Structure 1
């Protein structure tokens, strides 16, 4: 068991308010997909609004920007849920139906000590770090993942004694 978990945050700029008929398929899918995440191997936690099963009312990045934030045991657990869960993958394929392309990264991954939950504000800082500097150990993407702090990957540089 690792002493770090993977935090993820992604944001989406809504094409219409959530109560608009054009958003009905997305809204209807929220509870089933959230339940799928909750039961997925490696899932640790996800952000929800007080008394709700999702975080669609949390809007720290503007009135039309929703936040999805969760914590997973590792990158592979999140990747499996994101890209190998048919229900979630169907939503990803339709994201342009409901969200305006941001033109910059809207997803960021980073490591947190196991047992500590990230905040949307921290996620915003990590997203800005990714946007400003590209992927690095403090803010990265699925395409360019970084190992957990202290993790042995087998790719560390070995120096000859000398």
Structure 2
């Protein structure tokens, strides 16, 4: 069954601050690699020419809170991209350079074939994970590895 993933972050400095430019410059390349990755189905992008979701205001009044929402064939294909694709790993390793620590910041859940989750649905899953902990309904990579 396909898997949806949401990861969220809040910039330490305003999004447009030059300190975030390395992250912003990496997005197109890493997103293109995700789009071409085995198992990739869909990802959220902004309006018009936007090729990422950084301009989407997922939380009203918080322009520095960003979301990454995508759908993959299965958890294994998402995990392979997230943790084995070199450029993505490089950006992931520098996460603390740009973003405040948040917990949870990642939620995974199964979706029906052809379903495209909304940001509202995804944030609800993240809140459920934070409130109730991981389960078959919403989980983390760690929970998935321990319970498959």
Q: Specify the TM-score bucket, using the shorter chain as the normaliser.
A: over 0.9
Find the counterpart in structure 1 of residue 64 from structure 2.
64
Q: Check if 1:33 corresponds to 2:12.
A: no
Question: Whose radius of gyration is greater, 1 or 2?
Answer: 1
Q: Under a length normalisation based on structure 1, what TM-score does the superposition of the two structures give?
A: 0.85
Work out the CA distance in 1 between the residues paired with 2:5 and 2:58.
16
Query: What are the equivalent positions in structure 2 for 1:128-147 lying under 5 Å apart?
Result: 128-145=127-144
Equivalent in the alignment of 1:149: none
**How many pairs align?**
144
1:128 is displaced (CA, Å) by 0.8
Unaligned runs of 5+ in 1: 147-152, 156-162
Per the TM alignment, residue 80 of structure 1 is displaced from its structure 2 partner at its CA by: 0.4
In the alignment, is the contact (CA less than 8 A) between 1:71 and 1:117 conserved in 2?
A: yes
Q: TM-score, normalised by structure 2?
A: 0.93
Task: Name structure 2 gaps, 5 residues minimum.
Answer: none
Aligned equivalent of 1:158: none
CA-based RMSD: 1.5
**4+ runs deviating over 2 angstroms:** none
1:13-55 Cα deviation digits (max 9, x unpaired): 1112232110110010000000000000000000001121000
| Kept after mapping to 1: 8 A contact 2:15/2:63 | no
- Name the CA distance, whole Å, in 2 between partners of 1:139 and 1:129: 7
